[in-house]
Chains A and B, each alone.
Chain A
Amino acid sequence: MTIRTLRDHGQHYRPRMACLNKAEALVVEMQDQKNGVKASEQKLNVTTIPHVMSGQDILAWIANHMKVDTQEAQVIGTMLVAYGYIYPLQDHKKLVLKPDGSLYRFQTPYFWPKQKWKPEDTDYAIYLAKRNIRKKGALDVYEQEEYNKLHKWMNHKWDFIVMQAKEQYKAGKERKKADRVVLDCQERAYWIVNRPPPRTHSALDYGIDRLIDPNADEVKKKTLDYYRRIIIFTQQAIMRSRVKSSVSLGAIVKYVTTFKNHDPFLAPCLPSNPWQTDDDTYWELNMRNVEVPTKMRVERWSFSFFELLSDPRGRADFKVFLKKEFSGENLAFWEAAEEMKWGTAASMSEKAENIFKTFLAPGAPRWINIDGRTMGLTVKGLEHPHRYVLDAAQTHIFMLMKKDTFYRYLKSPVYKDIQKKAISPAPHNFSDAQLEQNAKNRKPGIDPIIIWQQEEEEKAKAAAAAGPIDIKKLMQNKLDRK
């Protein structure tokens, strides 16, 4: 019993090689006595074997019958030879149709390629054993290798293979000599097509377990250019910065330990998950511009400066702190740079102008303190502004704030105040009746457009307040009162 794994992956229903049926029809038509290919006889010492054709006859017939030109006929003919419908008598390992007088013969239908009849290894082993008998042990190198391989892993069937090979050999001897020759040639041609010798490939190579990757480059000439590119690529790969896994894993562990209480999957949502209880207290408490933030939120601000800045409530708090310290220009510049990064392309040059006037020009009202090199780069870049022209300066300012202002903020009374004020909502415990009540009382939240409008108003107010203080006007008022 051979374990028959159905490895054709359903291809027997949807044959990929649909061309085989057409090729068969063509070959049958070639057999016609009147209109088919002219056949002559092959004379070998004492025997004559009929039904042999020359390459050019086949070519002429194909060109005539299918009404194509010689080149196309050549291709079709080579295809027929490559699939094994016609086999060459001389130079039997090269499966091409030569347009000269070289001889070809038709293959018997038993040995025609059919997708559902996969050439089995058992049959191949029997063939090799027969060939071994005939050639008295002098097989080709690749055949000998295959023989040894098959002997090794088909060992349990080896008795059968030997017996069957001997019997087939003896049965073959019962036929007349010419037929024996033809039989030999046929079988050999079949196995050259289906088990191609090394450095050739079979036209029947298809499907998932094919030997040749059709997407690989055909004959890639390894020129100097190719090698140069490979060298550059590997050099750059070496230069890439690497982090030891101990370091990166340590960072992951640190991150997880800090954030594990804040993770929405690992920690429960306080007071209650609005999706489950239909009670939107959670969302109300965590809005962008809420007066009193939750304790979790405030704790999160202390983790890193980035967290503080990304939370709008945190940023607002930080702004309040900076106003007290009279060092708001750093944050203002950072926000302006963010706006430039995320803003529209049309407003880019205008924004660049404003930023330069407000922050970077010498003697500007809100001059930021960055080192000379970065300043030089930024000013030069602002001549042809693009989205990321302020990137270097922004990073510098960010690091400044982080290393200096952030820690002062964390120790400041502003932060401590807000920490005390922060609320820690108790988890809800709704009964079923209450849940139903909640579901009935669902109402839509504030329209995000309204929120955005509110924010814009606030920004405008802040911008006006942050503008250069017009001393004259101020004094004017005071003078007037007098």
Chain B
Amino acid sequence: MGKDECKTMLDALNKVTACYRHLVIALGSTSDSQNLREELKKTRKKAQELAVANRTKLTALLKDKTISKDDRAEYERLWVLFSSSMEILEVDMRRSLEIGQDFPLKVPTRHLIQTGMTGSTTTVAARAMSVQNMKYEADASIDTADLKDLETEIAQVDQMMEEMEMKVQVAPWAVEAKQEAGAELKSTVSVGNSSVGVISICEEEPKEAAEGEGDVMRVFAGVIFTAVLLIAGILGYLVINLS
């Protein structure tokens, strides 16, 4: 069905947008590197492909005058999702252009900001590209060469957004959201124990850290307990069998 296809494509675009933002945040800092620039480039291209695909699909659906009112409302909602994604992408692309220009990689005295982030962003990029491992094959001057491409791509995105606004008559403020306040809490209950530990470090409360690790300890204790029970059971069975 058209709707489901759209939804999956939008989800993909959403994922790529989020990952792109993470990558741009790392630009200019100590976790910046050639790899990061290449990741940015690849993520960007993927985002554009998805954007174009989404746009053609959604415009086709919205231009169709024979759909029902509910369907149309749903498509308008999807359209708002799409345009918001595109806006965020555009802003991030512009920012990456600026920061990329301010912090070139191949200069003799490289002053990258020491933000404390030292890890690589490979996993984030892999998530964006939906691959297991990233392959890096770019050449050394990617940081300057890429910037020109980036400029053209920003212009393309601008143009696309203008066309979108012109062709499709959707009133974004008339769309009603399906999620209510606090909806993000519901589906992320299984946040995981490790994240609790992460927050506590930020919040200056070492007690929670102990609690976070205590959680791990509890699981561990549970595992050991069941193992002991099993061994006891087996021994008892053997004793009964042998006696």
Interface residues of A (CB under 8 A from B): 1-2, 27-29, 31-32, 39, 42, 44-45, 47, 49-52, 90, 105-111, 117, 120, 122-123, 129-130, 132-137, 147-148, 151, 155-160, 162-186, 188
For window 1-46 of B, CB contacts with A under 8 Å fall at: 11, 14-15, 17-19, 21-22, 24-31
Give chain B residues whose Cβ lies under 8 Å from the Cβ of A165.
Answer: 184
Other-chain residue from B19, B88, B117, B199 in contact with A108 (beta carbon distance below 8 A): B117
B50 vs chain A, min Cβ distance (A) = 13
**Would you mind naming 19 contact pairs between A and B with Cβ atoms under 8 Å apart?**
A1-B83, A1-B161, A2-B87, A32-B111, A106-B115, A109-B103, A110-B95, A120-B91, A122-B88, A155-B176, A159-B177, A159-B178, A159-B179, A160-B80, A164-B17, A167-B18, A174-B124, A185-B202, A186-B115
CA distance A414 to B138 in the complex (A): 112
Q: Is the CB of B112 within 8 A of A168?
A: no
| A27 and B25 contact, CB distance less than 8 A | no
Residues on the A chain within 8 Å of B128, using CB: 171
Contact B117 A156 (CB under 8 A): no
B81 within 8 A of partner (CB): yes
* B17 CB to nearest A CB, Å: 7
Q: Judge whether A164 and B116 touch: CB under 8 Å.
A: no
- In the complex formed, the residue of B with least CB distance to A129 is B184
* Main SS class of interface, B: helix
Question: B117 near A179 (CB under 8 angstroms)?
Answer: yes
Contact, CB under 8 Å: A164 / B18 = yes
Please count how many residues in chain B sit with their CB below 8 Å of the partner chain's CB atoms: 77
Given known pairs A31-B113, A107-B115, A159-B178, the reply for A177 and B21 (CB within 8 Å) is no
Q: Which of A31, A122, A132, A157 contacts B111 (CB 8 A)?
A: A31
Excluding A1-B83, A120-B91, A170-B18, 12 further A-B contacts by CB distance (< 8 Å) are A1-B170, A2-B84, A45-B206, A50-B118, A107-B115, A122-B84, A156-B172, A169-B188, A171-B19, A174-B123, A177-B198, A181-B202
Q: B interface vs A, CB < 8 Å?
A: 11, 14-15, 17-19, 21-22, 24-31, 77, 80-81, 83-85, 87-88, 91, 95, 99, 102-103, 109, 111-119, 121, 123-124, 126-128, 161, 164-165, 170, 172-179, 181-185, 187-188, 191-192, 194-195, 197-199, 201-202, 204, 206, 209, 213
Chain A residues whose CB sits within 8 angstroms of the CB of B178 once the complex forms: 159
Tell me the minimal C-beta distance from B76 to chain A in angstroms: 9
Residue of A nearest to B187 (CB): A166
In the complex, what distance in Å separates the CA atom of A45 from the CA atom of B213? 10
B99 in complex: contacting residue of A31, A51, A109, A175, CB < 8 Å: A109
A-side contacts of B103, CB under 8 Å: 109
Closest residue on chain B to residue A172 by CB atoms: B22
Contact of A167 with B88 in the complex, beta carbons under 8 Å:
no
A48 to B206, CA, bound (A): 15
Q: In the complex, what residues of B have CB within 8 A of residue A50's CB?
A: 114, 116, 118
What residues of A have a CB within 8 angstroms of the CB of B197 in the complex? 45
Q: Are B18 and A171 in contact, with the CB atoms below 8 A?
A: yes
Whether A136 and B124, one on each chain, are in contact in the complex, defined by CB atoms closer than 8 angstroms, is no
Residues of the A chain whose Cβ atoms lie less than 8 Å from the Cβ of B187: 166
Within the complex, which residue of B31, B95, B116, B199 is in contact with A134, where a contact is CB–CB below 8 Å? Answer: B199
Given A44-B201, A164-B88, A171-B22: A133 and B99 interface contact (C-beta under 8 Å): no
Q: Is B29 a contact partner of A108 (Cβ separation < 8 A)?
A: yes
CA distance in complex: A182, B17 (Å)? 21
Please give me the residue from chain B that is nearest to A135 by CB atom.
B199
Residue of B nearest to A85 (CB): B113
The distance in angstroms between the C-alpha atoms of A136 and B208, with both chains bound, is: 14
Q: Which residues of A contact B29 (CB under 8 A)?
A: 108-109
Smallest Cβ-Cβ distance to A185: which chain B residue: B202
Q: Which residues of A contact B192 (CB under 8 A)?
A: 173
A180 touches B198 (CB 8 A): yes
Given A110-B27, A122-B88, A178-B118, A132 and B185 contact (CB-CB distance below 8 Å): yes
Within the complex, what minimum Cβ distance (angstroms) separates A271 from chain B? 66
List, in ascending order, chain A residues with CB within 8 A of B191's CB.
133-134, 136
Write the chain A residue with the least CB distance to B164: A1
Considering only CB atoms, which chain A residue lies closest to B204 in the complex?
Answer: A90
- With A49-B116, A51-B114, A186-B115 known as contacts, the answer to whether A110 contacts B24 (CB < 8 A) is yes
